[in-house]
A and B are shown apart, each in its own frame.
Chain A
Amino acid sequence: EVQVVGSGGGLVQPGGSLRLSCAASGFTFSSYAMSWVRQAPGKGLEWVSAISDSGGSTYYADSVKGRFTISRDNSKNTLFLQMNSLRAEDTAVYYCAKRAEYSGSYYLFDYWGQGILVTVSS
C-alpha cells in the first residue's frame, strides 16, 4: 500500500525557518518525482515545488522561489522542504504528493500525504 506521511510542521515567527519531511513507502520512491502542494486556511490548492526522481532537477512557484528548498534522500525514501524567511502568507497545510503513474508530468498527483500545518505568526 502506498503511503506518504508528512511531519515537521508547527508555529514559527515571521522570518523564521522550518523543515518539513515526508516519508514514503509502498512504492519505488527513487523512480518518481515528488511535489509539495499547499492550501491556505479556507482557500484552494497551490503547487509549491517539485523535484525529479533523482533529485537533480528542482522547480518552484514564484511565490517561494529563493526562500524554499526542496530535496530528497532516496536511500531513506524521504522528501524534504526547507522553508526560510517565512511570511504570514505561507501559513497553510502543506501536502507532499507523488507523481501519478498515468503521466510523465511532474504535476499530476495520485497519492497525497495527510497534510502538515504550518502557521507563521508572531
Chain B
Amino acid sequence: EIVMTQSPATLSVSPGERATLSCRASQSVNNNIAWYQQKPGQAPRLLIYGASTRATGIPARFSGSGSGTEFTLTISSLQSEDFAVYYCQQYSKGTFGQGTKVEIK
C-alpha cells in the first residue's frame, strides 16, 4: 500500500502571501497525483491532476509540481477564499494524504 504523507499539518499564512504545501509518497506514483481543496461542510474540489495540470476553472494562482515521490502545491497569493484544507491523493489506487489546513495568520 502506498502511503501519502503531507506536511505541514497546519500552515498559517497572511492574505496575499505564498503558501507551499508538500506531499510525499512512500513509493513512486508516476505523477498520478491530485490535489483537492475542502472547505468546512463542503465536498472536496479537484484542483490539480497529473501533478501539475489545473482542473477546469481553477485559478492560475494554484500550481502543482514534483515527480516520483515528492510533490508540491503552491498558492501564489492567498485569497480569502483559499483558506481551507488541502489533500493530496495518488490516484493509481486512491490513497489520500492526511491533509494540510491553511489558516489565516
* Binding-face segment, A65-73, A74-82, A101-109: A101-109
Other than A105-B32, A108-B46, A112-B43, give 18 A-B pairs with Cβ distance below 8 A: A44-B87, A44-B96, A45-B96, A47-B94, A50-B94, A102-B49, A102-B50, A103-B91, A105-B91, A105-B92, A106-B94, A107-B89, A107-B93, A108-B32, A108-B49, A108-B91, A109-B44, A109-B46
Q: Which residue of B lies closest to A108 (CB)?
A: B91
B residues apposed to A, CB below 8 Å:
32, 34, 36, 38, 43-46, 49-50, 53, 55, 87, 89, 91-99
Q: Indicate whether A110 sits within 8 Å of B95 (C-beta atoms), given known contacts A45-B87, A102-B55, A105-B32.
A: no
- Tell me whether A100 is interfacial, beta carbon within 8 Å: yes
The interface residues of chain A, by DSSP majority, are classed as loop
Nearest Cβ in chain B — how far from A38, in angstroms?
A: 11
Instruction: Let me know if A44 and B43 touch, CB within 8 A.
Output: no
Report A-chain residues with C-beta under 8 Å of the C-beta of B93.
47, 107
Instruction: Let me know if A102 and B53 touch, CB within 8 A.
Output: yes
Q: Indicate whether A113 sits within 8 Å of B43 (C-beta atoms), given known contacts A47-B96, A102-B49, A102-B55.
A: yes
Instruction: Let me know if B55 and A46 touch, CB within 8 A.
Output: no
Report A-chain residues with C-beta under 8 Å of the C-beta of B91.
103, 105, 107-108
Give chain A's interface residue range (CB within 8 Å of chain B). Answer: 20 to 34
Which listed residue (B55, B94, B98) contacts A110, Cβ 8 A? B55
The answer for the CA separation of A47 and B50 in the assembled complex, in Å, is: 19
Instruction: Let me know if A45 and B53 touch, CB within 8 A.
Output: no
Report B-chain residues with C-beta under 8 Å of the C-beta of A45.
36, 38, 44, 87, 89, 96, 99
Instruction: Let me know if B97 and A110 touch, CB within 8 A.
Output: no
Q: Which of B36, B55, B93, B94 has the most CB of A within 10 A?
A: B94
Closest 8 CB pairs of A and B: A107-B94, A47-B94, A112-B43, A108-B91, A107-B91, A45-B96, A105-B91, A44-B98
- Tell me whether A121 is interfacial, beta carbon within 8 Å: no
The answer for the CA separation of A20 and B72 in the assembled complex, in Å, is: 35
The answer for the CA separation of A105 and B92 in the assembled complex, in Å, is: 7
